């Protein structure tokens, strides 16, 4: 690894690498100066024109954008082939699949819970049906109340949330850093999630990033859904710091 985007901060060693841009814009000169053997790009990123320029300059580019949880394991295997470590990748992919299957079997038969995910608050942004977070909600036996929306990160209104009447509201974006987000929702006690006290947080790096750590976020989310159903689970009831006493680790 020689370069990263502005949000690539894990593992900690990544923070010492050269930052070459973000999802909206790349520093083509900085990328070229690093002389990478491989560029990994997000397929639907806002910097697509610059990525195409890198291809024109002769840099090999691998587009990655898992849309299903199983795709994460497949992507790990593809990375293993690309960087000539297929055995290491195969082990990591199998670990991911085993832990994913364990979560599926644990939560497959649970009663559905209506879930609203808040990625941003002003404007109010959530996740649509095609987003990987929706797959995580389904993994936990939940239902994204805005799954019918086609956009990956659609803007919605408070009125639409009131009409959907979620049983659980989860902050899983930059909103997590602003604790007052709960107070905004407590103005609407008619929402089932508010009246039941089911306002939770999941750190965005564990839920909205398409990496193996998404299963840590899934474990937290599944635990919160169980609390909505009145079942016991390790993650502590909010207040809510969104931290499990026994999270899955990778």
E strand or H helix at 4, and its extent?
strand 3-4
Taking phi over 0 as left and psi of -120 to 50 as alpha, with beta for the rest, 89 belongs to: alpha
Q: Say if residue 115 is in the same domain as residue 51.
A: no
**Residue 69 located in a structural domain:** no
- pLDDT for 24 equals 85
Nearest by Cα to 215 from 95, 82, 128: 95
Decide if 141 contacts 225 (C-beta within 8 A).
yes
For β-strands 142-144 and 18-19, DSSP reports them as: unpaired
Q: Say if residue 160 is in the same domain as residue 221.
A: yes
**pTM score, two decimals?**
0.85
pLDDT above 60: residue 248: no
Q: Say if residue 162 is in the same domain as residue 223.
A: yes
**Residue 141 located in a structural domain:** yes
CA dist 22 and 24 (Å) reads: 5
Q: Say if residue 39 is in the same domain as residue 130.
A: no
Identify the burial level of 163 via C-beta atoms within 10 angstroms of its C-beta, where 0-12 means exposed, 13-18 middle and 19 or more buried: exposed
**Residue 137 located in a structural domain:** yes
Q: Say if residue 218 is in the same domain as residue 119.
A: yes
Nearest-5° Cα angle at 130, 128 to 136: 85
CA dist 8 and 89 (Å) reads: 20
**Residue 241 located in a structural domain:** no
The per-residue pLDDT for range 212-228, each reduced to its tens digit, is 999 999 999 999 999 99
- pLDDT for 108 equals 82
Taking phi over 0 as left and psi of -120 to 50 as alpha, with beta for the rest, 21 belongs to: left
**Residue 126 located in a structural domain:** yes
Instruction: Give buried/exposed letters for 120-149 (b at 16+ CB in 10 A, else e).
Output: bbeebbbbbbebbbbbbbbbbbbbbbbeeb
Q: Say if residue 143 is in the same domain as residue 50.
A: no
CA dist 172 and 179 (Å) reads: 12
Taking phi over 0 as left and psi of -120 to 50 as alpha, with beta for the rest, 236 belongs to: beta
**Residue 57 located in a structural domain:** yes
Report residue 222 as tokens: 């599944």
Q: How many structural domains is the chain composed of?
A: 2
**Residue 147 located in a structural domain:** yes
Q: Say if residue 55 is in the same domain as residue 140.
A: no
Domain residues for the domain of 36 are 3-64
Range 85-99 average pLDDT? 97
Backbone torsions φ then ψ of 23, nearest 5 degrees: -70, -15
SS3 43: coil
Q: Say if residue 60 is in the same domain as residue 129.
A: no
Q: Say if residue 141 is in the same domain as residue 224.
A: yes
Q: Say if residue 115 is in the same domain as residue 224.
A: yes
Which domain CATH number covers 18?
3.40.50.1980
The per-residue pLDDT for range 27-51, each reduced to its tens digit, is 999 999 999 999 999 877 778 899 9
**Residue 145 located in a structural domain:** yes
The per-residue pLDDT for range 144-187, each reduced to its tens digit, is 999 999 899 999 999 999 999 999 999 998 666 666 888 899 99
Ranking 33-47, 120-134, 135-149, 196-210 by mean pLDDT, the lowest is: 33-47
């Amino acid at each position: 690894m020689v370069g990263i985007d502005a949000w690539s901060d894990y593992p900690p060693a990544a923070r010492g690498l050269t930052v070459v841009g973000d999802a909206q814009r790349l520093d083509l000169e900085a990328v070229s100066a690093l002389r990478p053997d491989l560029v990994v790009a997000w397929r639907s990123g806002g910097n697509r024109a610059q990525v195409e320029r890198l291809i024109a300059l002769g840099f090999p580019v691998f587009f990655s954008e898992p849309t299903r949880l199983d795709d994460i394991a497949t992507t790990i295997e593809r990375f293993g082939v690309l960087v000539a470590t297929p055995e290491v990748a195969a082990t990591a992919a199998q670990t991911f699949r085993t832990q994913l299957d364990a979560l599926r079997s644990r939560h497959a038969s649970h009663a559905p819970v209506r879930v609203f995910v808040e990625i941003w608050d002003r404007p109010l942004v959530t996740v649509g049906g095609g987003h990987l977070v929706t797959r995580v909600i389904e993994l936990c036996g939940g239902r994204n109340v805005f799954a019918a929306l086609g956009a990956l990160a659609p803007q919605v209104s408070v009125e639409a949330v009131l009409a959907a009447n979620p049983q659980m509201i989860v902050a899983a974006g930059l909103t997590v850093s602003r604790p007052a987000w709960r107070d905004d929702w407590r103005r609407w006690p008619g929402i089932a999630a508010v009246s039941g006290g089911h306002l939770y947080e999941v750190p965005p790096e564990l839920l909205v990033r398409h990496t193996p750590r998404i299963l840590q976020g899934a474990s937290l989310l599944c635990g919160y859904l169980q609390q909505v159903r009145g079942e016991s689970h390790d993650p502590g009831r909010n207040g809510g710091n969104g931290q499990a006493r026994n999270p899955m680790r990778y």
